[in-house]
Structure 1
Amino acid sequence: MDELTLLADADARGLRYLEGNATRRVFPSDEAIAALDALDERLPAHGLPAEQTLELLDRIGSPATTASNGPRYFGFVIGAALPAAAAVERLMLAWDQCASTFDNSPVSATVERVAGRWVLDALDLPRESAVGFGTSATACTLGALASARRALLARQGWDFDRQGLIGAPEIKVVVSELVHITVKKALRILGFGLDRIVYAPVDAQGRVDPARLPLLDERTILCLQAGEVNTGAFDPFAQIIPRARQAGAWVHVDGAFGLWARASSLVALTAGIEEADSWTTDAHKWLNTPYDCAMVICRNAQALAEAMNSDAAYMSASADAQKNLTLEFSRRARGIPVWAALRTLGRAGVAELVERHHACAQWIGRALARLGFEVLNPVVLNQVLFRCATDEQTLALRGAVQASGETWFGGTTWQGRPALRISVSSWRTQVEDVQALVQLLARLRETKEEG
């Protein structure tokens, strides 16, 4: 089979997969998972036909996918692939560009520069900021925190690039008690030491309490949250960030999904966030680009460009080249799907997406409360946190939901007890999907109680 025929076959298989989105099990059956053993082959001594490889992956792999690209997945804040973003990804595969510099890919550099400007516009963040398109919030947080430490040390007269960390003034990190694991991972990788992190106390909804904020100074990195992963709560930025700036601290905001509230009528949730020094957010969450696509945004463009610089004698570039703003030297143009999503949605479309999901989540919360579930959070964004009357019932309901194949969401631990977490973030999710979700929960709970 020639190249073009093979690619056409792949496109046809992908289209058939998308056509089944509405009826596919949201989590694969036991039989589909067991069938994955067919992929556990020995490395072939001689190459096998490409069309057979594609057929095998489709026949065995497609039934074993989680339908997170469908309308009834409410698990992690994953979103789904907008048609425009998915389409440009297909074109990008044909281009196969190394999008590190203008010299490598003029089109990638140009489109990503526009996409970065549009992101700042949509989120109403300082227009002088640098925007790096990376793989994930974890990778982008690494870039932001590395830039923060380097900048704070420079203010102390310490050249981090040449002198390293041995003998350097200590940089303190203050984070929320409920800081996301990706921020902790980044801090651990950067060598801050988990035992040396200072934790800021939070209120009942997981927001940092300004009255109990630890001492900040010019050697402090303060990490705040826009959208706590369980409750969706926002730290009180307007109360905290001015104090941090007065102390000379660097403020970083983890806004993996919550930062997109700024692009909607829910902007008040983020009041004061624009005064931070750096932010991270995921496009593959609420902007609904394909995985993996995230952003690091840094008010001081030079600080990010210098910290992430990877110029070499054989490949130097401008400060705003993406290889000088992200961890990746060889990289794909992750900003192009962002450009496609923003161009297709427009300002009004992004707002509609966020607001529709917020309305759906609020409807779910009210419906669950009427059914007698304990809803644990005021639904401020897209997260619904709830539990049953007993821990045993909560765990049993989670198992029944996941086994049903009709939807999927996961569990968590909230204030020491099991809880269930529903996230609304797919562009495909409509009112009828959340209604079906609530009907399923009512039916499964009734079945469990009768049993």
Structure 2
Amino acid sequence: MSRELLNNAFQRGDRYLSEIDERRVFPDKTAISALSGFDEPLSQKGEEPSKVLEMLDELGSPATVASAGSRYFGFVVGGSLPVTVGANWMATAWDQVASSAVTSPVADKIEKVTTGWLLDVLDLPRESAVGYVTGATMATFTALAAARHKLLRGKGWNVEADGLFGAPEIKVIVSEEVHVTALKALSMLGMGKERVIRVPTDKNGAMDITQLPELDDCTIICTQAGNVNSGAFDPIAAICNRANKVGAWVHVDGAFGLWARASRTRSYLAEGIEKASSWATDGHKWLNTPYDGAMVICRDEEALYNSMSVAAAYLREIETAAQNYMPEFSKRARGIEIWAALKFLGRDGVDNLISGCCDLATYFAAGLEELGLSVLNDVVINQIVVSWDNADKTESLMQAVQQEGTCWFGPTIWKGHNAFRLSVSSWKIEKKDIDLSLQAIGNAMKSIEN
């Protein structure tokens, strides 16, 4: 029964992926309406397993967003490489608790190997510690917890033991374009998302270093490697030069942009990032792994360990256990997918993936301008911000393209302008996909003008 069931699941998943580029990118109203089939009371005796999979496939598959396909440009989402899907299935079948070498020798070994590869391909300080967390939000949360520990310990305060009541004040500096997940992390850590000092940005969304306030040894600066709208990079090297002189902590939100360091054509954007104190990046964005696979990277291993380590009578104390470098005590073996992607791609493959997406974004932006649309940002990496004449026409165009189904992108506000944002992040995207998308956008513009 188990083998038959898994074969059933494989066949359904394989068919879904094989057909994904021939379907609408966003489900139609009929598919969404059919989801009401899930509205049923919990049965008393349960259901036969094959029927469970059948229901998932027949009701669920048509109502998915084809973010794993070749014409999804919403948010910053890369479609999973087939090898990482396979690794995900293997890791799920193993069902490992990837907390330490005691709970899973294989997961522990693979994550340690992956740590070395990550620091190598991203050219970050080799002494750094890496924690494998759920997403970039949790990666930033973990890094800022390490920062809080380090800065307050320097003032003689043990925040893990004594909390924040009466603690020395930490000054937090962020960009005017700070990502909401950094603010969420600050709020969860008790440092407050409204107490931050916001630094104005230039026309492309990078921090204006001339507006950077005075730093000291109780300051955290949250920088961005890849503005979520424009793709702009803060002047991180210059910020680090100032911060390191006084003992301030520089965190880099590099959910996707950190991977520019592995690109032959875009590495210049990330020069000097190695001088920072911590970094966050996400596998599902630009390494094209499944969701629930991100990394927190911290130069100061001791700070990360002291902010995250756990102890209990039933645990054999293992200082290098994964559980001591991330918030979760038990986790799935998510590092296996990161390893699979790097093993499959190698240095050249990572470079080609990142550089190729950037080149396609440049091609896409040129095509949009030829249609008469305005590209509002300097397309330095894989992000494009677009508008059309006025807010109403911009909104109408976005809605028309979404309803037509050839491709999908979503709205944003950029420097006070209503706009939409396109992100070229997937290994599957080719010029033909962009050409099809440009044709759909052009057709929508004509229908609106007529």
Identify whether the pair has TM-score above 0.5, normalized to the shorter chain: yes
Q: How far apart, CA to CA, are the structure 2 residues paired with 1:157 and 1:133? A: 29
- State TM-score, norm by structure 1: 0.98
For residues 410-443 of structure 1, what are the alpha-carbon distances to aligned partners after superposition, in whole Å with 9 as ceiling and x for unaligned? Answer: 0101122210100001111111111111111111
Query: Does residue 339 of the first structure (1) align with residue 339 of the second (2)?
Result: yes
Q: Secondary structure at the match of 1:80?
A: coil
Unaligned runs of 5+ in 2: none
For 2:28, give the aligned amino acid: S
**Cα distance in 1 between the residues matched to 2:44 and 2:59:** 22
What is the Cα deviation at residue 87 of structure 1?
0.7
CA deviation map 1:157-209 (0-9, x unaligned): 11222222111101111000110000000001111122311111111111110
Q: Does 1:447 align with 2:447?
A: yes
Q: Could you give the per-residue CA deviations for residues 326-352 of structure 1, whole angstroms, max 9, x where no partner exists?
A: 111110111110000000000000000
C-alpha contact 1:74 1:407 (8 A) present in aligned 2: yes
Tell me, what secondary structure is at the counterpart of 2:422?
Answer: strand
Contact 1:80 1:428 in 2 (8 A): yes
The answer to whether the aligner puts 1:80 opposite 2:55 as a matched pair is: no
Aligned-partner residue type, residue 423 of structure 1:
S
Contact kept in structure 2, 1:101 and 1:317, CA below 8 Å: no
> 1:305 — aligned with what?
305
Q: Which amino acid aligns with 2:416?
A: G
Q: 1:94 is matched with which residue?
A: 93
Which letter maps to 2:402? Q
Displacement, 1:299?
A: 0.3
The correspondence of residues 266-281 of structure 1 with structure 2, limited to 5 A, is 266-281=266-281
**Whole-angstrom distance in 2 between the partners of 1:380 and 1:86:** 30
The 3-state SS of whatever aligns with 1:48 is coil
Do structure 1's residue 252 and structure 2's residue 251 form an aligned pair?
yes
Secondary structure of 2:312's counterpart equals coil
Question: 2:35 — aligned with what?
Answer: 36
Q: What corresponds to 1:201 in structure 2?
A: 200
Q: Name whichever of 310-319 and 64-73 sits farther off.
A: 310-319
Among all aligned residue pairs of Structure 1 and Structure 2, give the percentage whose two residues are the same amino acid: 50
Instruction: Render the CA deviation track for 1:348-389: whole Å, top value 9, x for unaligned.
Output: 000000011000000111111122111101110000111001
Q: Report Cα offsets for 1:284-335 as digits up to 9, x if no partner.
A: 1100001111000000111111111013221234333211111111101111
Equivalent position of 1:55 in the other structure: 54
**Distance in 1, Cα, partners of 2:320 & 2:373:** 50
Structure 1 segments of 4 or more deviating over 2 A? 316-320
Q: Which residue of 2 aligns with 1:403?
A: 403
The answer to whether the 8 A contact 1:311-1:324 is kept is no
Residue of structure 2 in register with 1:110 after alignment:
109
In structure 2, what is the Cα distance between the partners aligned to 1:399 and 1:316?
Answer: 56
**Which whole-Å CA distance do the structure 2 matches of 1:377 and 1:26 have between them?**
25
- Structure 1: stretches of 5+ with no match in the other structure: none
1:319 aligns with 2:302: no
Instruction: Confirm whether residue 20 of structure 1 aligns to residue 56 of structure 2.
Output: no
Query: Aligned equivalents of 1:394 and 1:402: distance in 2?
Result: 12
How far, CA to CA, are the matches of 1:193 and 1:423 in structure 2? 30
Q: Residue 218 of structure 1 corresponds to which residue in structure 2?
A: 217
CA contact (8 A) 1:172 1:197 kept: yes
- TM-score, normalised by the number of residues in structure 2: 0.98
Tell me how large the CA RMSD over aligned residues is: 0.9
Q: Secondary structure at the match of 2:318?
A: coil
Would the aligned equivalents of 1:115 and 1:335 in 2 still touch at CA under 8 Å?
yes
Q: What is the match of residue 379 of structure 1?
A: 379
**Would you say 1:171 and 2:170 are equivalent positions?**
yes
**What is the match of residue 349 of structure 1?**
349
Distance across 1 between alignment mates of 2:396 and 2:304: 47
1:221, 1:282 → 2: CA distance?
Answer: 21
